[in-house]
Copies of this chain bind each other. A is one copy, B any other.
Amino acid sequence: MDRIAVIGLGKAGLPIASVIADSGISVTGVDIDEERCRMINEGKNPIPEETGLGELVVKHGGKNLVAVPDYNEAKNCNVFIIIVPLFIDEYNQPDFRILLDATVKVGKILKKGDVVVLETTVPPMTTETLIREALEKESKLKPGEYYLANSPERIMTGYSISRLREFPKIIGGIDKESGKKAFEIYRKFVPNLQLVSSARLAEFVKVIEGCYRDVNVALANELLKIAEEIDVDIYEAIRTANHEYCHIHLPSTGVGGHCIPVYPWFLIKEMEKRKKFDKAKLLRTARELNDEMLEYWVDKIIKECTKLNKPLKDIKICVKGITFREGVKELYHSRNLEIVRRLMSKGLNVFVQDQMFTKEEIEQMGLKWYNGDEDIVFDPFNLNITAR
């Protein structure tokens, strides 16, 4: 019987750990956050916005799913699923420190015949190079003595449990045996699982899904600007254009969160490293275009302010929603929060309204809680600007 360790109990790790536990397999979850471990073991769900997760944590927390801060407590496991965050730095280069640290610690407890599966979305080739080298260096195991695969998480916060249970999931090994072995284990808890030709292909697939979304959001944002120039309603146009063969996305304040604004850089930077700048020019243009939406919206809000015929500093602006996506308590690369900060840096009087945060949390970020008498209200999720 397999004993599975899930390394990382964050927004992606806890749902998969819970789903595995629910399938009857014993899971040891490793997370450096001791308070988080304690909560989970007491059956308390630290991600309340995740539908269906609460029940699973109540049912399995501290029982079939035991959360521990120490890797040594997972040393009896024979399968290690690594699902920790990967950020990019200020130069848009992937910062592997958290991932490497977790991999090294897994390497230290890895035994002959064990299986390691990386779920973190990474630049293609990371599993077969960086991860493999770190594991082999620490474990002293040779290729063939353990198995290594990549199965990129394809969840979406709020829908993670149904995604794991219904959505197609892919897995690929760094060699044939690794792929087969990891596939056999995963299909015990992932019903819709597909074995692909390699770990590298699995990595690439996840990254290009993000690129598809980034480029298509950029297209929607470019069409928004053009529609505004020629005075047509972009929403009616997109609604009418979309059919079986046309999937134009919706315009936005840009793209936030841990995923879509990050993944295109994996490919752009890899091409840069090879001095093949031209091979990622569409991805780069889309990325820049989405990031430039900040200026677009800041300018638009200020333009709206000037219509009020009051000194700018006397105008109260309310931004309704600062998370990167509606309904998810997450601020990473939040474009809406950045719009708030840019407006503030221009000396404007900005208030924030967000159902995901308490007044105290908003104020701890150095922001002002809305008080209901704002002159201009900007709803970044619906892209509405209204003057009161």
Contacts and interface: CB of A to CB of B under 8 A. Distances in A.
Interface of A: 124-125, 167-168, 170, 194, 196-198, 200-201, 204-205, 208-209, 211-213, 215-216, 218-219, 222-223, 225-227, 229-233, 236-238, 240-241, 243, 245-248, 267, 270-271, 274, 276, 279-283, 285-286, 289
A236 B279 contact: no
A213 to B, nearest CB: 8
B285 A240 contact: no
B229 A279 contact: yes
Contact of A196 (B201, B213, B225, B236): B236
Contacts of A285: 281-282, 285
B279 A226 contact: yes
A224 to B, nearest CB: 10
Task: Name, among A213, A222, A274, the residue most crowded by chain B CB atoms within 10 Å (CB to CB).
Answer: A222
A289 B281 contact: yes
B237 A208 contact: yes
A92 to B, nearest CB: 16
A350 B279 CA distance: 28
A201 B282 contact: no
A218 B284 CA distance: 13
A241 B276 contact: no
A240 B124 contact: no
Contacts of A218: 282
A281 B247 CA distance: 20
15 contacts: A167-B243, A168-B243, A200-B232, A201-B232, A208-B223, A208-B238, A211-B223, A212-B219, A213-B246, A215-B215, A216-B216, A219-B282, A222-B279, A226-B270, A285-B285
Nearest to A198: B232
Given A194-B240, A200-B230, A200-B232, 20 more contacts: A124-B232, A198-B232, A201-B237, A204-B227, A205-B237, A205-B240, A208-B241, A209-B241, A209-B246, A209-B248, A211-B223, A212-B246, A212-B247, A215-B215, A219-B282, A225-B276, A226-B271, A229-B270, A281-B285, A282-B286
Contact of A197 (B197, B198, B233, B276): B233
A358 to B, nearest CB: 32
Nearest to A289: B282
A279 B271 CA distance: 26
Contacts of A211: 219, 223
Nearest to A196: B240
Nearest to A268: B226
Contacts of A248: 208-209, 212
Nearest to A194: B240
A212 B241 CA distance: 10
A212 B243 CA distance: 12
Contacts of A270: 226, 229-230
Closest CB pairs A-B (n = 9): A285-B285, A225-B279, A222-B282, A205-B241, A205-B240, A204-B232, A209-B241, A209-B246, A215-B219
Task: Please indicate which of the listed interface residues A208, A238, A286 has the most CB atoms of chain B within 10 Å of its own CB.
Answer: A208
A196 B236 CA distance: 8
A235 to B, nearest CB: 11
A251 to B, nearest CB: 12
Nearest to A203: B232
B236 A197 contact: yes
A229 B198 contact: no
B283 A222 contact: yes
Contacts of A233: 197, 201
Contacts of A241: 205, 208-209, 212
